């Protein structure tokens, strides 16, 4: 994974473990995501990709290991070698810096596209409505949906809802964006518009961790790629290298089914 001249990694995982009861989902994940990097996670369903993504912003608590975002421990503080869990309020405050886009768009159905994008800046950051509205309109324009500002989610296609969801995440001005299979719930002809928005973010230098099945996107836009299976990192490297010349049998087998 790419090293960026001595910069603190945007995400750093050390021996991260996560279980749900007896089910071990993550079994010692080690990886680093450099600032401005587009980091793609691929692998079969149930391999732990989405769980790892949710651990990055402490939507899931890890059971062992350490996870840092921009040099700060996620969900905990360390004192004399011991970890102490942060209060919910402190976790929520740090989570503001991390935007997350889910498979399902999770828009507020009773709010227009514009109101969905304005909501967090006004209520979480206490931004004035006028300022939040102006920025929300710019973000909707950026994702190609300025004309849909007065529309409710039910009046938008899945691809349009997902682009509103991206604008909503960007409204908090995050330093890191997490995408959990953002195109998997979309009709095939709507996927391209969402990927174009993500491409634009990458060009603007946004650090992104993307769980995806879109191998073309990973190959074109990704800076680093990890293949996960059964809770472990099986193979990692530059996307083109891993996708065209996988070294592990498990990676070869997976790619033969999806490429």
Arithmetic mean of pLDDT, 29-52: 96
Which residue shows structure tokens 């990097």?
37
Residue 53 tokens, joined? 């993504």
CB 254, CB 230: distance < 8 Å: no
Band (109; pLDDT cuts 50, 70, 90): very high
Mean pLDDT score across all residues of the chain: 93
Q: Which of 5-9, 40-44, 207-211 has the lowest mean pLDDT?
A: 5-9
pLDDT above 50 (res 113): yes
Q: Are 239 and 224 in contact (CB under 8 A)?
A: yes
How far is the C-alpha of 10 from the C-alpha of 224, rounded, in Å? 13
Which pLDDT tens digit goes with each residue over 205-254?
999 999 999 999 999 999 999 999 999 999 999 999 999 999 999 999 99
Decide if pLDDT at 257 tops 60.
yes
Q: What does the pLDDT average to over 193-197? A: 95
Q: Report in angstroms the alpha-carbon separations of 235 from 18, 104, 161, 225.
A: 20, 28, 33, 8
Residues of the chain above pLDDT 90, percent: 82
This prediction has a pTM of 0.93
- Flag whether pLDDT at 123 surpasses 80: yes
| pLDDT given for residue 236 in this prediction | 97
Task: Tell me which residue has tokens 């939507």.
Answer: 59
Query: What gap in Å lies between CA 213 and CA 215, rounded to an integer?
Result: 6
CA angle 56, 138, 40 (to 5 degrees): 30
Residue 6: predicted pLDDT: 62
Give the per-residue pLDDT at 235.
97
Q: Which residue has the higher pLDDT, 95 or 29?
A: 29
Q: What is the β-pairing status of strands 207-211 and 176-180?
A: parallel
Other Cβ atoms closer than 10 A to 164: 27
Q: How far is CA 5 from the centre of its chain?
A: 24
The region of weakest confidence among 31-35, 41-45, 100-104, 229-233 is 100-104
């Amino acid at each position: 994974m790419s090293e960026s001249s001595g910069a603190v990694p945007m995400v750093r995982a050390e021996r991260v473990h996560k279980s749900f009861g007896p089910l071990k989902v993550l079994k010692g994940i080690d990886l680093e995501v450099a600032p401005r990097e587009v980091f793609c996670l691929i692998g079969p369903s149930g391999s732990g990709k989405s769980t790892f993504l949710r651990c990055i912003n402490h939507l899931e608590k890890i059971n062992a290991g350490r996870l840092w975002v921009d040099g700060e421990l996620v969900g905990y503080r360390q004192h004399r070698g011991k970890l102490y869990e942060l209060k919910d309020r402190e976790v929520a405050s740090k989570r503001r810096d991390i935007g997350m886009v889910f498979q399902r768009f999770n828009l507020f159905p009773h709010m227009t596209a514009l109101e969905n994008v304005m909501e967090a800046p006004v209520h979480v950051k206490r931004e004035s409505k006028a300022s939040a509205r102006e920025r929300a309109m710019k973000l909707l324009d950026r994702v190609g949906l300025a004309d849909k500002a007065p529309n409710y989610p039910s009046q938008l296609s899945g691809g349009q809802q997902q682009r509103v969801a991206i604008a909503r995440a960007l409204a908090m001005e995050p330093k890191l964006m997490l995408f959990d299979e953002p195109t998997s719930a979309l009709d095939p002809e709507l996927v391209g518009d969402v990927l174009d928005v993500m491409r634009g973010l990458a060009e603007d230098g946004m650090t992104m961790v993307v769980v995806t099945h879109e191998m073309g996107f990973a190959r074109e836009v990704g800076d680093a790629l990890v293949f996960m299976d059964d809770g472990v990192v099986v193979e990692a490297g530059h996307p083109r290298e891993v996708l065209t010349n996988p070294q592990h049998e498990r990676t070869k087998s997976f790619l033969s089914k999806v490429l």
